[in-house]
């Protein structure tokens, strides 16, 4: 079920747009990358970071930004599979952040589930982890 080249490119475009909006702290653009469904979900790296719905995802981004002077999600390798209007992706990347005057890079493993809506791929679920 490996995604075809067109699906791969379109999913990559959504994930790149999301990462760029996160880095640039552009909240509306970031939230637009997620499907507008009440059960859209984002699981973060901290124990209390389980977010359901766009409003909760918005609050998570605002929280992340309030705790950092700069933060970026860097995408390394990307694997995408798809069936019909659903795609799932794995990213091996990193969080690069500056907080409290110090810089830190944390490896990140991210899984996404995306759905095709009105010609665009939108994130329905995202799960972020940092391997030990």
pTM of the model: 0.93
CATH topology of domain 5-129: Nuclear Transport Factor 2; Chain: A, (3.10.450)
Q: How far apart are CA 111 and CA 99, in angstroms?
A: 25
pLDDT of residue 131: 87
Strands (E), 8-59: 41-43, 50-52
**Predicted pLDDT of residue 103:** 96
Q: What residue spans define the domains of the chain?
A: 5-129
Give the residues of the chain that fall short of pLDDT 70.
none
């Amino acid at each position: 079920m490996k995604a075809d080249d067109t699906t791969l490119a379109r999913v990559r475009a959504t994930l790149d747009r999301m990462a760029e909006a996160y880095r640039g702290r552009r909240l509306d653009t970031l939230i637009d990358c997620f499907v507008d469904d009440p059960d859209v979900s984002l699981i973060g790296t901290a124990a209390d970071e389980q977010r359901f719905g766009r409003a909760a995802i918005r609050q998570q981004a605002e929280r992340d930004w309030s705790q950092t002077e700069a933060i970026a999600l860097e995408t390394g390798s990307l694997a995408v599979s798809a069936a019909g209007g659903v795609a799932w992706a794995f990213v091996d990347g990193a969080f690069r952040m500056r907080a409290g005057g110090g810089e830190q890079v944390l490896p990140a493993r991210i899984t996404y589930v995306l759905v095709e809506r009105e010609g665009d791929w939108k994130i329905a679920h995202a799960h972020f982890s940092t391997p030990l």
